[in-house]
Chain A
Amino acid sequence: MNMQIEEIHKLLDRFYKGETSLDEEKRLSDFFRQEVVPKSLEEDRRVFLSLYDQNVPIPSDLEQRISALIDSFDDDRKMKSERTGMRRLLSPFLVVAASVLLVFGIRFFVQSDSPKPALMADTYQNPNDAYRATMHALQLFSDNFEKGMQPIEKAAVHVEKTQKIIHQTIYTKQ
């Protein structure tokens, strides 16, 4: 008996370290189930029986409780899928809104970051030369612009004349 108890102690040590084989574990459980154990092993016996005891009574409403639990899972999922459905409906708008925001964000960033850098170098270093070139350009521009405006001005004069004549005829008739 003593011999056996010592061996059981050893086996238990190894068991708690997780080193026992299946056979050894069976021996331990057999031992605890069959024999009256000394007080020092009483704690271990309770642990062992709770681990290896096969005759746990099955509650009669177990099946009901399990299926109720499964049903509740199902309900949960339904609620969730309704929520994701809403999200799916909203998602195109979210995508559009997000991209619009991005566009404006980046545009703002680009514009504020680089306020139109000088694209080209000045042709003239001397303001007087630049001034002369500018005046030349403005002169050329004005010449052509005036060429376009002259017929319009002429037409305007004609329109004015015509209007005068119309006015006069209306007033003299009255």
Chain B
Amino acid sequence: MRKLLIAILFVVCAANLSAQKNPFEQFTEMDGVTSVYISKNMLSLFPKNAKNNYGGIDVGNFLHKLSSILILTTEDKNIGKRMVSLANNQVKGDNYELLMRVKSDDDDNVNFFMKGKPESIRELIMIVDGSDDESVILQFLGDFTLQDIQKMTEGFGKD
């Protein structure tokens, strides 16, 4: 009987976990943090001739595979620090994989995390720890590949 109760408890917990909200939603509530959320519906409404607007970069392919974009920015140093450390804890605790770590000349630390496999990435996160200027968290949800990202970034790199 006790085993059964434990099993039921476990099931309820598991169900709760799987029904968990977007872990980065909490940051949208933070004071001093500007958040931008773009849903799949909004993504599908993007202008069809978007290609032309952006110097022939084919981002449509990448955007098409996304289910949402979340952008969190803050220019306040302290809030930025807190946001970044909370985000780092979040990715540490929730088996994200570190994709890339970049330290630029102007002392910005940028970490890229992903969830899923390289050929099927479900979530991509960029955390910019701007020591002097704004800190940014970018979250892409969807189902895309590392190649899609590379193509997209190459397009932007050209101009």
Question: Once the chains bind, are B35 and A123 in contact (CB under 8 Å)?
Answer: yes
Interface size class of B (residues with CB under 8 A): 35 or more
Question: Once the chains bind, are B46 and A107 in contact (CB under 8 Å)?
Answer: no
Q: Say whether B93 faces chain A, with CB atoms less than 8 Å apart.
A: no
Question: Once the chains bind, are A137 and B47 in contact (CB under 8 Å)?
Answer: no
Contacting residues of chain B (135-149) with chain A, CB-CB under 8 angstroms: 136, 138, 149
Q: How far is the CB of A44 from chain B (nearest CB, A)?
A: 57
Question: Once the chains bind, are B15 and A135 in contact (CB under 8 Å)?
Answer: no
From B18, B67, B69, B149, give the contact of A134 (CB < 8 A).
B69
With contacts A102-B8, A127-B42 taken as known, whether A144 is within 8 angstroms of B128 at the C-beta atoms is: yes
Bound: A144/B149 CA distance, A:
12
Contacting residues of chain A (126-174) with chain B, CB-CB under 8 angstroms: 127-128, 130-131, 133-135, 137-149
Question: Once the chains bind, are A119 and B25 in contact (CB under 8 Å)?
Answer: yes
Question: Once the chains bind, are B153 and A134 in contact (CB under 8 Å)?
Answer: no
Bound: A121/B54 CA distance, A:
26
From A110, A122, A149, give the contact of B153 (CB < 8 A).
A149
Specify the main secondary structure of chain A where it touches its partner: helix
Residues of A within 8 A of B86 (CB): none
Question: Once the chains bind, are B63 and A134 in contact (CB under 8 Å)?
Answer: yes
Question: Once the chains bind, are B63 and A120 in contact (CB under 8 Å)?
Answer: no
Question: Once the chains bind, are B138 and A135 in contact (CB under 8 Å)?
Answer: no
From B22, B35, B39, B157, give the contact of A142 (CB < 8 A).
B157
Interface size class of A (residues with CB under 8 A): 35 or more
Bound: A114/B52 CA distance, A:
37
Would you give the 0/1 interface string for B6-49, flagging 1 where the beta carbon is closer than 8 Å to chain A? 01101100110011011001001000000111110111011100
**Residue among A111, A114, A118 with most chain B CB within 10 A:** A118
Question: Once the chains bind, are A130 and B22 in contact (CB under 8 Å)?
Answer: no
Would you give the 0/1 interface string for B84-113, flagging 1 where the beta carbon is closer than 8 Å to chain A? 000000000000000011101000001010
Q: How far is the CB of A124 from chain B (nearest CB, A)?
A: 7
Q: Say whether A41 faces chain B, with CB atoms less than 8 Å apart.
A: no
With contacts A122-B38, A139-B156, A142-B157 taken as known, whether A134 is within 8 angstroms of B43 at the C-beta atoms is: yes
From B19, B36, B63, B101, give the contact of A133 (CB < 8 A).
B36
